[in-house]
Amino acid sequence: MLLTDDRGLTEEQRMMRDACRAFVDEHVIPFTRQHWAREWIMTPEERLPRRILEVASEIGIRTLGVPEEFGGTPLDPATQVRTYSIIAEEIARGDSGLADKLVQVWKVSTLLRNIAPRHLQERWFPEIVKDPAFLLAHCSTEPRGASDRWLGYDTPETAFQTRAVRKGGEWVLNGRKQFVSNGYDAKLYVVYANTRPGTRMIEGTSSFLVPRDTPGFTIQRCNETLGGRFMNNGEMVFEDCRLPHDHCLVENEALARRAGHYSRPGRIIQASKNIGIGVAAFERTADYVQNYVQGGRILIKHQVVASRLADMATRLCAARGLLRDASRAVDEGAADADYLCSMAKLFASEEILKVCQHAVELHGGNGTMLDFGIEKLYRDATMFLHMDGTVDITRFKIVKTLFPDTAGKYAGPEA
């Protein structure tokens, strides 16, 4: 590892990081390098071998968000988000799609740990721990509403179009969700729906726990993405999907309850995964330019190559420094946590893409070869420009947080 950050880590964090690093070096990187064509298999279930998820479970990194009493990996609450950040970066250094797959289990488990009633925790957490292929998904995005919902425009027009209606002892869901991480192959879903039509979004959104085999719930398709292809992004439909009344996690106030448990840690984890891709690009490029000869000398001796390598390292360290401050702010519940974690996600998404562009160009023709693997890092990095909010939406969220009284206001529906 050429660029590491050990400052401030606890002994437990170092041990977990080292175990994860060994897992990535021994299992993940060899697989992605030797079987590079598998990400293009159009049968999503066949892309990532189950064995990789089994090993991730064996070393305890799949169940980081599950309470210890149910068999999950214990974390110090005071440094939980920083730990997520460290491990997410390591996994993404091996493959960002695998990181996407695993961190959704962490994030949704953490959410359920904080908001799910006890009987649902007792029902599902043991299942998550027992089955290495048990994945979780968080269903928010819809065809007519995605990042724009988080601009602070809390109006009836921005409410979820997926609806849930109480009928006797059941909830009945109707609607559609798309661009859902793990959506194609998860076994348990947290779904957001409008339960008070005509009210503001923050007052009328409820969350529900939906098992995969629930009648009326259909996995419509796997979205074939440009990057992160070892995580199967999905689209799902709810047609008179009936749930027991007790599967409503939070009624009418679900968005307010999720922020500290899912959204802020989620942005930290996104930035961390992004940095992991950048670290992989930098390490492989640094090795390449010190061993490949062009013009009678190794590449690093050419001034323009050395300049680009220095630029890559600087962008990485800057992104990681901002991330470190943001993750500490989230762990501490600091007043500036909201905009810092948005800044970290935004900055990493743009800077790491530039790092990966340098990597492709410094590899010359090899940088565009599918079997060489550098173009994959560039493709994976492009995904972060819109994950958990587009870069433009994220910029506006930052301004809304910094200047809530004067930032732009919602103009209302078109006349």
Q: What is the pLDDT of residues 120-133, one digit of tens each?
A: 999 999 999 999 99
Q: What is the pLDDT of residues 161-179, one digit of tens each?
A: 999 999 999 999 999 999 9
**Does the global pTM surpass 0.85?**
yes
pLDDT-derived band at 199 (thresholds 50, 70, 90) equals: confident
Residue ranges and CATH numbers for the domains of the chain are 11-133 (1.10.540.10), 137-254 (2.40.110.10), 256-402 (1.20.140.10)
pLDDT-derived band at 6 (thresholds 50, 70, 90) equals: confident
Q: What pLDDT is attached to residue 202? A: 81
To the nearest whole number, what is the mean pLDDT of the chain? 93
Q: What is the pLDDT of residues 76-112, one digit of tens each?
A: 999 999 999 999 999 999 999 999 999 999 999 999 9
Whether the predicted pLDDT of 189 surpasses 80: yes
Q: What percent of the chain has pLDDT over 90?
A: 83
Whether the predicted pLDDT of 388 surpasses 80: yes
Q: What is the pLDDT of residues 307-325, one digit of tens each?
A: 999 999 999 999 999 999 9
Angle of helix 374-382 versus helix 337-362 axis, rounded to 10: 150
